[in-house]
Amino acid sequence: MIVKINDVPEPERQPKVSVVMPTYNRAREISRSIRSVLSQSFSDFELIIVDDASKDNTDEVISGFVDSRIRYEKLTSNVGGAEARNIGIRLARGKIVAFQDSDDEWTCSKLEDYLKVFEADVEIGAVFSNFIQIWPGGCRLMPVGLYTLNEKDIYTSLLWQNHVGTPTLVVKKRCLEIVGGFTPEMPRYQDWDLALKLAKITKLTYLKEPTLLSYVTEGSITQNNKAHLFALELLYHQHAKAINADKELRAAWLHRLGDAKICQGIKNGRGMLFEAFRCDPFNVRYFLKFIFSIPGSSRLYNRSKRFFGAGG
């Protein structure tokens, strides 16, 4: 049975967890994601599927699941993934909210494992974990990068690098309400943005064991350099005080922004790379990427990115 949210009276019993799953034109993949939620070892949850005005037969696929824990809401216009998640948060009846993407797969004890963490420390407001990214040709443990997560200062660790994938994140609803949920204006990195906001107001912790299988297909890979730069600039301005208080962290962000600007053909990107080197003169990577960013050397610069890593 599929429950249409707008037609449901106020329930007598609240589930402990609300799982929010936005979807858009994922009729081929969504069954796998739904099954991974419904087969959890912990069963006191509701699954809120927010259909962001899909044009395929997603609704028919969902109607094939006979489970009263499923609540389905199809929007009449496309609002984007961030706002679709916010709608799910507002509709959530549980005090704890988990997020799932409609093309990924949870491990069977994910919710049970997370709830043990919440119960062990009442001050924890959010939990996330590692995950396994699966490509057509292989898989790898995520996140990967240059910076190790410092559990004693997660906010600063998150400023260095995004360690959070949205489908690994489980949060107390009250904390989501305090920070205002996801930022719809963020064209990318909504997970990073939310994690940083949460880290400023509550205690975050993470599980090293992966709790998610994230499937990457050609259709899910986006190379929108303009959106990448815009999102980075928003994040930088929101957290500039903390970033600029540490020379090495400031250098990392100048490098990140400069790299994104060079990819957009924006002239002052090269100056930012040089400023990154000035802030952290022992970082050879910044200096060499500045040298390789000489106008007319785009091929050489792209090779340096593959060798040294991208700025983001």
Residues 223-232 have pLDDT tens digits of 578 899 999 9
Contact 104, 25 (CB under 8 A): no
Residues 38-61 have pLDDT tens digits of 999 999 999 999 999 999 999 999
Is 208 found in the same domain as 105?
yes
Is 130 found in the same domain as 109?
yes
Residues 31-44 have pLDDT tens digits of 999 999 999 999 99
Is 235 found in the same domain as 164?
no
Output 306 or 16, whichever has higher pLDDT. Answer: 16
Using the predicted structure, report yes or no on whether residue 11 has a pLDDT greater than 70. no
Is 290 found in the same domain as 195?
no
Domain of residue 16, residue span: 3-220
Nearest one of 14, 216, 185 to 95, comparing CA atoms: 14
Q: What is the mean pLDDT of residues 279-302?
A: 75
pLDDT at 152: 80
Lookup: tokens for 16:
């402990």
Residues 234-261 have pLDDT tens digits of 999 999 999 999 999 999 999 999 999 9
pLDDT at 285: 86
Nearest one of 119, 107, 227, 218 to 167, comparing CA atoms: 107
pLDDT at 1: 45
Q: What is the mean pLDDT of residues 195-216?
A: 94
CATH number at residue 187: 3.90.550.10
> In total, how many domains does the chain have?
2
Is 112 found in the same domain as 194?
yes
Helix/strand/coil for 221: coil
